[in-house]
Amino acid sequence: MPPRHNARVDFAPYRTELLTYCYRMTGSFHEAEDLVQDALLRAWKARDGYDPQRASVRTWLYRITTNVCLTALAGRARRPLPSGLGAPGDDPGAPLTPSPEVPWLEPFPDRRFDLAARADLRLAWTAAVQALPARQRAVLVLREVLEFSAAEVAEQLGTSVAAVNSTLQRARRTVRALDGAAEQYREPDDPEVRAAVQRYLRAFEAADVPELVRLLAADAVLEMPPLELWLRGAADYGRFMARVFRMREGRWRARVDRANGQPALVAWAPQPGGGHRLHSVQLFTVVGGLVTHTTVYTEPRVLESFELPEEPPGE
C-alpha cells in the first residue's frame, strides 16, 4: 500500500483559479462549474496518493483539472460568438430567430469572484482560444496565462518540452490572428472607459438613439447570442437599438457591472403594466472613448449565473 503523504490537502484556495481555467478551456461558465466540481472530487479521492516531493498542490490540481477538461472537450464543437460564424447582417429589422442548437460562448460573471487576471477573460480572447484544438488551448493557457514552465506543462500533458514549445507557437499565431482587440484592451476602471460607459448608460436609460450612435465607433459591432444575426457599423447598430426601444416602450433602468474583465451594463426593461424586469447583460469594448463592440446576453440561464435581481434596486 502506498504511503499516505498528505490527507489534509486544502483545495479551497484554488477553486476560483481552477474555475477560470475551465472557463477559458470550454467557453462556458456553467460547464466550468461542473468540471471544477468533478476535478476537485477526483483530487479528494486521490489525496492519499499526493506526493509533495514531486509537485506542488497547485501543479497537481491543474494536472487533474486539465485531464478532466480534455476528456470533456473530446469531439466537441467550439463555442463561437455570432461574429465568428460569417458576415454581418445588413437588415437591422430581420426576424430575431434564436439558434439554440449552437453551443454559444457564455460570459463570465467576474463580479462574483476575486479575480486577478481579468484581461485574459475577454470575450474576444476567449472566442479566439475556442478556435484551437483542446490540447493547444491547454498549452496556451497553462503557459501564457498561468505561467507554468514548459517542463511542468509537458509533465501535466504527458509530452515533451519540445512538443509544448512547438504547440505554444502555433496557438499564439492562431489567437493573435483572431483576437484583433488584444492591443487595445483597457481596464474597466480606466477613466476614459468608465466615462464612455456612463454616457452610454444614460443614453440607454433614456432610449436616446442619436446619443448612443454618437458614442459608437464607425465600425462598431453589435451581437446578441443566441441570435446568429450580428451587425457592423454605427448606423445599423442605431437602427437596431431604435427597434429595441420601440418594442419596449418606456424608460429603461441600468447599472454598470463587469464581466470577462470588461465593462458591462445590466439592463432592466420597462413592462407594459409598469415596473421593470431583468432583460440583459451587455459587455463592451471601449477604444479611444468610443464603444467598438457590444455583446448582449438575454438568455435566462446566462443571467442566472450573474445572480442579479429580477427588478432593479429600489423598485
H or E element: which one contains 195? helix 191-205
Q: Is residue 270 one of the residues assigned to a domain?
A: yes
Residues for the chain: how many in total?
Answer: 315
Question: Residue 255 pairs with which residues in a beta bridge?
Answer: 266
On whether both 130 and 272 belong to a single domain, the answer is no
On whether both 56 and 205 belong to a single domain, the answer is no
On whether both 197 and 298 belong to a single domain, the answer is yes
Query: Which pLDDT score, from 0 to 100, does residue 1 have?
Result: 42
Is the pTM higher than 0.85? The answer reads yes
Residue 110 neighbours by CB under 8 Å, 6+ apart: 118, 121, 258, 259, 260, 261
The C-alpha cell at 140 is 496556451
On whether both 209 and 172 belong to a single domain, the answer is no
User: Taking the CB of residue 45, how many other CB atoms lie within 10 A of it?
Assistant: 9
On whether both 212 and 265 belong to a single domain, the answer is yes
On whether both 129 and 225 belong to a single domain, the answer is no
CA distance 70 to 135: 7
Find out whether 5 and 52 touch, Cβ atoms under 8 Å.
yes
Helix (H, G, I), strand (E, B) or coil at 208: coil
On whether both 276 and 189 belong to a single domain, the answer is yes
Of 271, 248, 255, residue with least CA distance to 314: 255
Q: Would you list the DSSP string of 270-293?
A: E-TTSSEEEEEEEEEEEETTEEEE
Split into its structural domains, the chain has a count of 2
On whether both 30 and 168 belong to a single domain, the answer is yes
On whether both 200 and 158 belong to a single domain, the answer is no
CATH number at 143 reads: 1.20.140.160
The C-alpha cell at 52 is 509533495
H or E element: which one contains 221? strand 216-223
Residue 80 neighbours by CB under 8 Å, 6+ apart: 102, 104, 105, 127, 130
Q: Is residue 313 one of the residues assigned to a domain?
A: no
Q: Is residue 146 one of the residues assigned to a domain?
A: yes
Find out whether 44 and 11 touch, Cβ atoms under 8 Å.
yes
On whether both 153 and 173 belong to a single domain, the answer is yes
* Domain housing 140: 12-76+123-180
On whether both 162 and 34 belong to a single domain, the answer is yes
Q: Is residue 105 one of the residues assigned to a domain?
A: no
**From first to last of its 315 residues, what are the pLDDT tens digits of the chain?**
444 555 567 888 899 999 999 999 999 999 999 999 999 999 999 888 888 888 889 999 999 999 999 999 998 889 999 999 999 999 999 999 999 999 999 999 988 887 766 667 899 999 999 999 999 999 999 999 999 999 999 999 999 999 999 999 999 999 999 887 666 777 888 999 999 999 999 999 999 999 999 999 999 999 999 999 999 999 999 999 999 999 998 899 999 999 999 999 999 999 998 999 999 999 999 999 999 999 999 999 999 999 999 999 887
On whether both 49 and 147 belong to a single domain, the answer is yes
Looking at 132, 149, 180, the residue that finishes a domain is: 180
Q: Is residue 93 one of the residues assigned to a domain?
A: no
Looking up cell 460569417 gives: 86
CATH number at 189 reads: 3.10.450.50
